[in-house]
Structure formats: C-alpha cells, structure tokens
C-alpha cells in the first residue's frame, strides 16, 4: 500500500523512514485500511529486526529451488505438464528470488 497523503504521498509503506512511520502509527484518526496496513508493515519490520542475520540469500535460493523442483515434478512437460506452465513456474521462481534479494539488500542497509 502507498501512503495516500502527506509528505510521503505515493510512497510505499515499506519505504517510509522509521521516524515518519512511527509518527503515523501514533495518529488516532487514520482510516481502518491504512491502520491495518501500517500494523502489518510494523510486524514485518519487527520480524526482520529480530531475525537480522538469520536469513540470507543462499538460504532463500535453496528454499525457492526446492519448491521449483517440487513444481517441476508436477508441471514439467516430461511429467504430463506443458511448456507454458513450466515457463510460468520458472518465471515465478525467478521473481521470488529477485524480490527476496531486494528485500535482503534493503534490510542489510538498515
């Protein structure tokens, strides 16, 4: 979700600076949808803060690769699937890996 107002209007909640983010959480007159999104983002930030150093790109790659192998057994053309479905599985796996690396890079900078 992107912030619908203020100094950081249009900025995704995950990209808000901590001080501004915390100030938003302290406001009483936020819409329910925004409050819920802020609370979810707060939980995400707390999780990564508490688990900093426990997650790394190699582990993410291993997890995605394990899932990819499992899906390949189901969707690969040699196992009754189709080329199109297998291409979609590969695209999704690459996207997940890229998102995880980006997230890990952001969390590493913080």
Q: How much is the pLDDT for 54?
A: 66
User: Full-prediction pTM beyond 0.75?
Assistant: no
What gap in Å lies between CA 12 and CA 52, rounded to an integer?
A: 22
Q: How much is the pLDDT for 108?
A: 57
Q: How much is the pLDDT for 60?
A: 80
* CA atoms within 13 A of residue 23's CA, in its CB half-sphere: 8
Q: Own/partner pairs for 86-92, CB < 8 Å, 24+ apart?
A: none
* CA atoms within 13 A of residue 19's CA, in its CB half-sphere: 1
Q: How much is the pLDDT for 78?
A: 93
12 strand-pairing partners: 2
What gap in Å lies between CA 16 and CA 98, rounded to an integer?
A: 21
Averages of pLDDT over runs of 10 residues in the chain (110 residues) are: 93 92 93 94 85 71 89 93 93 86 66
Q: How much is the pLDDT for 101?
A: 76
């Amino acid at each position: 979700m992107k912030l619908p107002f203020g100094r950081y209007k249009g900025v995704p909640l995950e990209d808000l600076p901590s001080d501004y983010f915390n100030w938003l959480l302290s406001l009483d007159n936020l819409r329910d949808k925004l409050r819920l999104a802020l609370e979810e983002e707060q939980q995400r930030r707390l999780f990564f803060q508490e688990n900093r150093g426990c997650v790394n790109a190699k582990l993410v790659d291993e997890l995605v690769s394990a899932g990819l192998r499992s899906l390949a057994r189901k969707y690969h053309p040699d196992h009754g699937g189709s080329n199109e479905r297998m291409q979609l599985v590969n695209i999704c796996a690459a996207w997940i890996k890229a998102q995880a690396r980006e997230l890990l890079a952001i969390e590493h900078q913080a």
